[in-house]
Amino acid sequence: MADSFSGMRILVTGGAGFIGSHITAALAEAGHDTVVLDAQPPPERSAAGAGSARWIRCDVRDEQGVGEALHGVDAVCHQAAMVGLTADFGDAPDYVGTNDLGTAVLLAAMARAGVRDLVLAGSMVVYGEGRYTCGEHGDVRPGPRRPAELDAGRFEPPCPVCGATLEPGLVGEDAPADPRSVYAATKLAQEHLAAAWARATGGRAVSLRYHNVYGPGMPRDTPYAGVASFFRSALARGDAPAVFEDGRQRRDFVHVRDVAGANVAALEAVADREDGTLRAYNAGSGTPHTVGEMAEALARAYGGPHPRTTGQYRLGDVRHITASSARLADELGWRAGVGFAEGMAEFAAAPLRDAPPPVR
């Protein structure tokens, strides 16, 4: 980390949240001054170091509050969002309002304040299905999975040309976007808004496309959390983790401290980006595991009960999505440092926190 960037003042939106609190702590440890803006109050047990931040409690859609939070700020780390797969399409206005209108309000306030550096919490969900290769037709893009196929237990997407079995691989940042849920659509819209802001203002933006983030401080028992939180919450209740489909879905599970480190690296490097541009980076461990493997590792570390495979599915879920994080390593020098077994063992013993009510 370059010494020339020490001592920045950075606004972290959503800094009371799971990932945001870890980022705030990592920035403080790196010698930066942090301002946290969040609709929720600071958690009673935030990540170490987060308590030294200046806190502003307001919604990211509050133009006046956001404008005040930007006073004297050098860069923004935008984490505030409604996350996860929608429980019902009726949630769509809340997702669009929080994620896209909130981002637009923030970017407009940054333009007025002359703040030109942004790191955005992106997501791997913008890709839809991951990268697939057919032995005969090479790289292909399977279409959305159909309920009739899923009901029959046929979970693997076939080659859209010949119907053959496909081999999943690592997806790179230049893969076409194909959002397949409301949440995914809002995350892609955030990137488009940030790119438009950068072009209009000469700003510099980085989008870190998080893969499956897990670790201490995840919210418990909420339909909007990731699968790691579902499994950990079940274990805490004494229930067997319920693994959907056949458990062979491939994901990239990345520890929250690694994601926080990626944000620090991006914030310290964003000023070196070309003016008027947005650059996307996958932020994953680079080592795929199946959902079933993750449930097994977590249950084993926790001491049981053993996971159960249900065959159930969520229509908005994709089958396989795993990252290549080579660009982030090559350009910013970041690499994940927490191994899968180590991270799951820690997560099994780490406390969860109560989920805050969703912002409306």
Q: Which of 95, 132, 183, 281 is catalytic?
A: 183
CA angle 103, 43, 13 (to 5 degrees): 15
How crowded is the C-beta side of 62, counted as CA atoms within 13 Å?
Answer: 17
Q: Give the integer Cα–Cα distance in Å for 173 and 171.
A: 7
For the CA atoms of the chain, what is the radius of gyration?
A: 20
Omega before 305 within 30 of 0, i.e. cis: yes
E strands, 135-269, in order: 138-140, 167-171, 204-210, 212-214, 219-220, 242-243, 250-251, 253-255
Cβ of 282: how many Cβ atoms within 10 Å?
Answer: 28
The SS3 call for residue 199 is helix
Q: Give the integer Cα–Cα distance in Å for 208 and 199.
A: 19
Distances (CA, A) of 209 to 85, 245, 254, 340: 16, 25, 12, 19
Do residues 229 and 236 touch, judged by C-beta distance below 8 A? Answer: no
DSSP 3-40: GGGTT-EEEEETTTSHHHHHHHHHHHHTT-EEEEEESS
Distances (CA, A) of 11 to 16, 190, 339: 12, 17, 30
> Which residue is listed with tokens 């996860």?
84
The SS3 call for residue 172 is coil
Mark whether 302 is an active-site residue: no
Structure tokens at 276: 């008027």
Structure tokens at 82: 């409604």
Catalytic residues, by residue number, are 183
